[in-house]
């Protein structure tokens, strides 16, 4: 029961024997809560477990003795079930079930979770597992349990539930004592809902479906070209046939142009690009892979006004088609290599996803967040590598920058929705008002537009002093028991041990100061 002085709430851990590994996660979550909120609110959550808090006693049934010594004195309980239900007592299917019913009958809080992690089938006691499923079925309509998939999932949910429940008690206590409801604004990690031991994340774009599909498309091009080679014999035959079919003036003109045209020669750089890809991916090219028959390049092609004209080729449809496919293959590989270079760079960036949480009992407004990152640690968006010139346009079309750098909305976190009004930048392309023809934007223009799109994501006000890079942004409104993501992820050149922050708002009279602790590999 709550005691005098510092208010201590006893939390009972009630779990069958197959989830003992989760006890440490419960202890870590409780320790983090006590560090973050306990000292500020003069409370403490204390863990109780039969293995450490019971003592030998006679005079009653073992479970009833535990109920008297520990269970009935606790203020809340946490229970986890996986495949085992536990040993039956006189009145219930297991000791854990009896402890849960004791708590619920006294109108006390029970945090209950059912674990759906993989397990070796031979390790399952079917009867025990069936009891777990029957128990879950009985409670499914009471809304008091959650399904978790693994340790990370459990830690995230339990940390959030623990914080919300006990902060609600704190808020109710303050309301009763002070008749003054206040917001409670803090910064936490989106994934663990904690500011302790935040583990920076990394992307894995090189393992994505997107890059695999790019490589598969190249492989398909090579397979097709390998299966449709032009033999040297067929090339000679086509050339002889061409010489025998000159019956008209038009045919004679074609023959004249053909004789005057230069043979198409594939450059060494072109060949090396394709050969190197094939070698890296252990693909064998046909011995006639590069043979184009008698394809020639027209010297007398017509120039297109106001633009670059494409070369014209003289040869059979088969020869032209093969050369066109080789060109497509070359540029697919060039683009693929640029994606590999860009994705490798992005995958090496470490970042965190932070949120602003209002854990109080009322809304808050005009929230100003100031983040202080030690000098030399923050990777700023204007220092990011630009995508290559052959992929930058596609990257902007699919809005990859938003997918990478914005923080996604979830069922418990709102996406950031208060953006600065930034004047739109017109693409810097060359337009002659007297002409309808528009040239394709240069790489410099595309980089300019890409940088402009990043400016709309990383909207922080940036400052610096001798110790810190300082980021500031605002939130107009944040309702109680809700969270809003930062405008973007925070990226690091070097991961700092801590990030300091200050929060001011309309309904919190004092400046809220805190630290985010990051794990460093």
DSSP code at position 431: B
Q: Which residues fall within 8 angstroms of residue 239, CB to CB, at 6 or more apart? A: 293, 294
Of residues 3, 73, 105, the one with CA closest to residue 44: 3
Q: Give the pLDDT confidence of 111-155 residue by residue, as tens digits.
A: 999 998 888 878 888 888 999 999 888 887 776 788 998 888 898
For the stretch 51-84, pLDDT in tens is 787 777 666 687 888 888 888 889 999 999 998 9
Intervals of CATH 3.40.50.10140 along the chain: 7-180
Closest CA to 25 of 147, 192, 165, 191: 192
Position 52 scores a pLDDT of 81
pLDDT digits (tens, 9 = 90+) for 362-388: 889 999 999 999 999 999 999 999 999
State mean pLDDT over 186-201: 88
CB-CB contact of 360 with 512 (8 Å): no
As a whole number of angstroms, the distance between CA 109 and CA 127 comes to 29
Of 102, 103, 111, give the one whose Cα is nearest residue 164.
111
pLDDT tens string 196-216: 788 899 999 999 999 999 999
Instruction: Please tell me the distance from the alpha carbon of residue 209 to that of residue 332, in angstroms, as a whole number.
Output: 16
Q: Which CATH number fits domain 7-180: 3.80.10.10, 3.10.20.30, 3.40.640.10, 3.40.50.10140?
A: 3.40.50.10140
H or E segment and range at residue 88: none
Question: Where are the extended beta strands (E) located within 170-247?
Answer: 185-189, 201-202
d(CA 264, CA 324): 12
Q: At a CB cut-off of 8 Å and minimum separation 6, what does 166 contact?
A: 9, 33, 37, 43, 45
The mean pLDDT value for 319-341 works out to 95
The answer to whether 364 and 505 have CB atoms below 8 angstroms apart is yes
Query: Which H, E and C letters describe 358-393, residue by residue?
Result: ECCCCCEEEEEEEEEEECCCEECHHHCCCCCCCCHH
pLDDT in tens, 15-53: 888 888 888 899 999 998 888 787 777 788 999 888 787
């Amino acid at each position: 029961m709550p005691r005098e002085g510092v208010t201590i709430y006893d939390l009972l851990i009630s779990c069958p024997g197959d989830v003992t590994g989760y006890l440490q996660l419960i202890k870590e979550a409780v320790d983090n809560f006590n560090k973050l909120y306990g000292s500020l609110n003069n409370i403490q959550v204390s863990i109780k477990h039969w293995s450490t808090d019971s003592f030998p006693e006679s005079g009653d049934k073992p479970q009833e003795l535990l109920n008297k010594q520990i269970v009935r004195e606790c203020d809340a309980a946490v229970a986890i079930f996986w495949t085992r239900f536990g040993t039956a007592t006189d009145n219930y299917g297991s000791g854990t079930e009896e402890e849960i019913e004791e708590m619920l009958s006294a109108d006390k809080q029970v945090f209950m979770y059912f674990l759906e992690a993989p397990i070796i089938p031979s390790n399952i006691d079917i009867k025990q597992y069936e009891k777990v499923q029957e128990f879950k079925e009985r409670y499914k309509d009471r809304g008091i349990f959650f399904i978790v998939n693994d340790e990370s999932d459990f830690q995230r949910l339990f940390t959030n539930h623990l914080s919300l429940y006990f902060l609600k008690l704190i808020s109710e206590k303050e309301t009763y004592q002070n008749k003054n409801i206040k917001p409670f604004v803090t910064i936490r990690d989106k994934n663990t809902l904690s500011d302790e031991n935040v583990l920076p994340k990394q992307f894995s774009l090189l393992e994505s479906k997107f890059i695999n599909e790019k490589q598969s498309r190249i492989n398909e091009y090579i397979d097709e070209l390998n299966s449709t080679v032009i033999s040297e014999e067929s090339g000679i035959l086509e050339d002889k046939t061409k010489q025998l079919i000159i019956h008209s003036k038009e045919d004679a003109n074609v023959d004249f142009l053909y004789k005057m045209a230069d043979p198409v020669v594939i450059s060494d750089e072109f060949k090396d690009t394709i050969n190197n890809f094939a070698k890296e991916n252990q693909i064998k090219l046909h011995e006639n892979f590069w043979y184009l028959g008698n394809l020639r390049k027209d010297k007398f092609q017509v120039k297109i006004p106001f633009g670059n004209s494409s070369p014209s080729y003289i040869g059979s449809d088969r020869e032209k088609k093969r050369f066109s496919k080789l060109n497509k293959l070359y540029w697919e590989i060039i683009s693929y290599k640029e994606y590999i270079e860009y994705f490798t760079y992005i995958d090496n960036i470490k970042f965190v996803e932070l949120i602003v949480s209002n854990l109080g009992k009322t809304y808050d407004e005009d929230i100003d967040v100031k983040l202080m990152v030690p000098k030399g640690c923050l990777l700023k968006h204007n220092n990011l590598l630009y995508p290559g010139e052959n992929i930058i346009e596609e990257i902007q079309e699919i809005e990859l920058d938003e997918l990478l750098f914005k923080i996604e909305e979830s069922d418990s976190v709102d996406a950031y929705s208060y953006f600065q009004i930034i004047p739109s930048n017109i693409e810097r392309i060359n337009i002659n008002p007297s002409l309808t023809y528009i040239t394709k934007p240069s790489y410099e223009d595309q980089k300019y537009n890409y940088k402009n799109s990043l400016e709309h994501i990383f909207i922080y006000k940036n400052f610096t002093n001798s110790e810190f890079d300082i980021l500031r942004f605002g939130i107009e409104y944040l309702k109680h028991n809700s969270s809003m993501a930062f405008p973007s992820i925070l990226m690091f050149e070097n991961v700092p041990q801590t990030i300091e922050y200050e929060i001011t708002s309309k309904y919190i009279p004092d400046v809220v100061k805190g630290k985010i602790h990051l794990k460093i590999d």
